[in-house]
Amino acid sequence: MKSFTYVAQPARVVFGAGTLGQLAGEIERLGARRALVLSTPEQRTSAEEVAQLLGARAAGVFDRAVMHVPIETARQAREAAARLEADCAVAIGGGSTIGLGKAIALESGLPIVAVPTTYAGSEMTPIYGITEAGLKKTGRDARVLPRTVIYDPELTLGLPVGISVTSALNAIAHAAEGLYAKDGNPVMDLMAEEGIRAIAASLGTIRARPRDGEARAQALYGAWLCGTVLGNVGMALHHKLCHTLGGSFNLPHAETHTIVLPHALAYNASAAPQAMQRIARALGTGDAAQGVYDLACANGAPVALRDIGLRAEDLDTACDIALRNQYPNPRPLEREAIRALLQDAFEGRRPGP
């Protein structure tokens, strides 16, 4: 067995149908009295319901969260928190809303209670991202890790099936790369494999019956595990490519992860055979890369970058950006092979045997 270092991240997780009802108690537990409730404009109704649930403990609602946390939005949210004298933030939504909470916490140290409604996993990580002048800067800071996370599957019953599937594959990507992380450890490996299994097993039912509570709970449980892996160990080529494609070409986050993952796994397969075995086992297939591709296809997700807005002439630039900085990856970064990977992802080809 290889040597490892394991440091647990402090987080309180409350999981189960109806647990949103415990929000006021959780805020009190943090010693807070005035919560600023954050959401996207689309989830304003949910944010208002949360504010109603909190009564006097709600300082107000800020509903302007958008993808990739533009600095202007972060400033407005920080100002609102200060003006309303909030002493904590409740982020109800996906990675964009939780990311906005992190931007507030980064500056003020305000504790965050995250109530995730997608499978992106941001709630379990100390990673933040803020976009300024078209450039997304990411970093790690213990202050942005949500102090409490309430996973209530009932809040995901209405997550549209298309977003559910791509968000689930986004979560699987965290676990898959965690399994070959340079700084991985056996605890994260267990979580990663179980996270992939739980999510993959839930998708068929979610597609057939989006409001199936048990399948939604399984998916959210898997998302928690996969998000924990993302928060604890370093990611590699796949996340670098998705960050490049999202940031430089404005491609949608979860769809990009869904499309690129099979190809990133095929690229790394020969250099990380044990990780591939565990991914394949969790998916119940013989081959990790093909298994992920087939899972996406079977559930109606996009499989080609050209179908989500990338242009053929962007591929060389994307390849250059992805190779600009060195970072750990099981297989060395080879320009020609990565360019071929991007071409395959662009065309939506099934990874070869």
Q: Which is nearer to ligand NAD, 230 or 292 (CB)?
A: 230
Instruction: Please say whether the beta carbons of 308 and 299 come within 8 A.
Output: no
Shortest approach of ligand NAD to residue 238 CB, angstroms? 13
Residues 6+ apart with CB under 8 A from 12: 26, 147, 148, 149
Q: Which is nearer to ligand NAD, 67 or 323 (CB)?
A: 67
Q: At 344, which amino acid appears? A: D
Alpha carbons 220 and 215: distance in angstroms, whole number: 9
Cα three-residue angle 97-102-106, rounded to 5 degrees: 155
Six-digit token string for 322: 């992805």
Shortest approach of ligand NAD to residue 163 CB, angstroms? 5
Helix (H) or strand (E) run with residue 90 in it: strand 88-93
Q: Which is nearer to ligand NAD, 67 or 84 (CB)?
A: 67
Six-digit token string for 98: 């939780």
Q: Which is nearer to ligand NAD, 188 or 280 (CB)?
A: 188
Alpha carbons 163 and 184: distance in angstroms, whole number: 29
Q: Which is nearer to ligand NAD, 60 or 252 (CB)?
A: 252
Q: Which is nearer to ligand NAD, 112 or 230 (CB)?
A: 230
Shortest approach of ligand NAD to residue 19 CB, angstroms? 15
Alpha carbons 223 and 248: distance in angstroms, whole number: 26
Residue with tokens 């949500």: 146
Strand partners, 132: 135
Shortest approach of ligand NAD to residue 104 CB, angstroms? 14
Shortest approach of ligand NAD to residue 332 CB, angstroms? 26
Residues 6+ apart with CB under 8 A from 89: 35, 36, 37, 38, 81, 101, 104, 105, 110, 111, 112, 113
Q: Which is nearer to ligand NAD, 107 or 331 (CB)?
A: 107
Question: What is the C-alpha R_g of the chain?
Answer: 19
Q: Which is nearer to ligand NAD, 327 or 349 (CB)?
A: 327
Alpha carbons 147 and 144: distance in angstroms, whole number: 9
Residues 6+ apart with CB under 8 A from 217: 16, 17, 153
Burial of residue 297 (CB within 10 Å: 0-12, 13-18, 19+) is middle
Contact footprint for ligand NAD (CB under 6 A): 40, 42-43, 67-68, 93-97, 99, 117-118, 120-122, 125, 127-129, 155-156, 158-159, 163, 167, 230, 253-254
